[in-house]
Amino acid sequence: MIGSLDSKVPSGPIESKWEKHKFESKLINPANKRKYEIIVVGSGLAGAAAASSLADLGYKVKCFCYQDSPRRAHSIAAQGGINAAKNYQGDGDSVHRLFYDTVKGGDFRAREGNVHRLAEVSANIIDQCVALGVPFAREYGGLLGNRSFGGAQVSRTFYARGQTGQQLLLGAYSSLSRTIAQGGVQMFPRTEMLDLVVVDGHAKGIVVRDMVSGEIFSHAADAVILATGGYGNVFYLSTNAKGCNVTAAYRAYKKGALFANPCFTQIHPTCIPVSGDYQSKLTLMSESLRNDGRCWAPKKKGDKRAPHEISEDERDYYLERMYPAFGNLAPRDIASRAAKTVCDEGRGVGPSGFGTYLDFADSIKRLGEPMIKERYNNLFDMYHQITSENAYKTPMRVYPAVHYTMGGLWVDYNLMSNLPGLHVLGEANFSDHGANRLGASALMQGLADGFFVIPTTIANYLATQSPGSRPKTDHPEFQKAEEENRAQTNKLLAIKGRKSVDSFHRELGLLMWDMCGMARSEKSLTRAIARIPTLREEFWGNVNVPGSGESLNMALEKAGRVADFLEFGELMCLDALARNESCGGHFREEFQYTAKDPEVQKGIVCEGDVKRDDTNFCHVAAWESTGDPSKPVRNIEPLVYETVHPAVRSYR
């Protein structure tokens, strides 16, 4: 057992912690920086920003991605915007308000110091991105435009129509491309990380597979950075790209890195509903649409009439009714559970009954269709291409789906894991969003970690390592890791079973969604924990992976990732079972407000809202691998709130 965890958050007033930490951080002179090599795994916003920034500082950087180009990183899929506390609208925003909204939005399960730093550097991110040429939307007079997102009563979200992630990624990619051309970054596309190499207790390299040739080999470095995104695809159906996986993070966990709060997963309330068993992923409809769209469902159970046939007084604008102060811009976890409740009552719409309406009729009447097209045209086009429905004329049908993961590898204030030398950025770490991420904050965190945090904090580790002291890839630990991964590859290819990799992934995903999805209970989690090891055993005895390991083999790639999901899914369920409370996206059915609670009677919360237990669970759960996926060890980091004191999370 690890024991106590040191977050390394500096002392002093929260407003000065980051400045104090920057001043007290170690420095490395320019000549010595050239002697250090850093590996960055992942080339999305966090990875591309980190690789280019570190190269600009003079470090030698190797950057790896499994896509054919960094431009295909999943950061490209973000739609609605990026938060920053610039207060351009003069509506009362500030660094402190962004900090407070993020802590409250995470249901008081995030680390205060990290969140305040994120709010502080948010304004710098916008300036950096404008300098990189990101075409943010602008007002008529030329100033950058803003819109609102869930969980906030100010307009602080900067955006580029409905493709903000794409434009930000192109900006970060331009910076990465410049440093590649200058020789500061060596890029390795179509290369998948298979393992972390630990030498004398420090992360000193990785084992990778060339996805085209099949060759397995190693790279050594003075420090390793993982910026590999989240694990939402454990549910099979999610809004994530099909390639998104947990492998890099999970294999680091198996080498000693702690995995924090894995049960904290985010369900996005507005996605295109599942249409059949043939689907392999789901499509997000941006939260920004809730600025102008109103969520409603029929008041009458089983009402199958077309939406235009249902009169205004027969409609239930459920978010406006339940959470009048925030209305349709209630946070994602709350809006998702409200939609689920409506459908569970038999008032869902669409062929499956799992859907509610997102209606733009009032906004089109007020603003005109051209204005709505200007704001959201690409999203409406996407919806039309998938559903053949015109959302300008009839309401969109939406339903919650897995979108983001707040859990991740444990890191301290320097973004270094408990494993010295291993740093983790963006969605791959746990630090900033608690039990629920507010919309438009993922892009903010990824760019903050990559452009502004890790370039300062990584020196605190590198300064303890002598320049040029890193091991070479002929070190026994590298050779051992390579052989273990070759053996696993050969084992997968040799099974020659009767079931495809996708069939196992689909079965696991359905199990996770039903037992550990939007709602969990002791009963459902216990059932999942009993079933997953059996499914895992069946996988290793009956999966069929065609082809060979010496060439491009997508089935082999998926098999390795699903093998990790089959272990990681159990860890998620164990974490959810151990956390006997509800908070944010972690909704345990046993722990919710009822009509008898004074908070409901006073109108502070709604019946069915999550009920935290701050006495017993105001902490981070950081899981330690023992080698047996069914028997991890639970460590805790107490969460100390000096500035924002935990309170009942109300959006009414």
What are the catalytic residues? 332
Q: Letter for the amino acid at 196?
A: L
User: CA angle, 6 as apex, 4 and 9 as ends, to 5°?
Assistant: 150
Distance CA(378)–CA(375), nearest Å, equals 9
Residue 495 buriedness (CB in 10 A; 0-12 / 13-18 / 19+): middle
Q: Letter for the amino acid at 93?
A: D
Using the Cα atoms of residue 55, residue 59, residue 60 and residue 66 in order, give the sign of their dihedral.
negative
Lookup: tokens for 205: 């390299």
Dihedral of CA atoms 64, 218, 572, 620 in degrees, nearest 10, equals -80
For 236, 289, 329, 377, 469, the CA distances from 398, given in Å and listed in that order, are: 19, 11, 15, 17, 55
First-last CA distance in the chain = 42
**Strand 619-624 and strand 315-316: pairing?**
unpaired
Distance CA(504)–CA(484), nearest Å, equals 23
Distance CA(148)–CA(167), nearest Å, equals 19
Sequence-distant (6+) residues with CB within 8 A of 611 are 581, 582, 591, 592, 593, 597
Which regions of 159-278 does DSSP assign to beta strands (E)? 185-188, 191-199, 202-210, 216-220, 223-226, 259-260, 265-271
Using the Cα atoms of residue 431, residue 437, residue 438 and residue 444 in order, give the sign of their dihedral.
positive
User: CA angle, 24 as apex, 412 and 126 as ends, to 5°?
Assistant: 70
Strand partners, 219: 206
Yes or no: say if 85 and 403 are a contact pair by the CB < 8 Å rule: no
Distance CA(230)–CA(266), nearest Å, equals 11
For 306, 372, 515, 550, 591, the CA distances from 365, given in Å and listed in that order, are: 20, 10, 43, 60, 42
Distance CA(205)–CA(197), nearest Å, equals 5
639-645: Cβ within 8 A, 24+ apart: 639/108, 639/109, 639/110, 639/111, 639/112, 640/112, 641/103, 641/108, 641/112, 642/14, 642/112, 643/14, 643/99, 643/112, 643/116, 644/99, 644/100, 644/103, 644/104, 644/108, 644/112
CB atoms within 10 A of CB 24: 9
Q: Cα–chain-centroid distance for residue 576?
A: 17
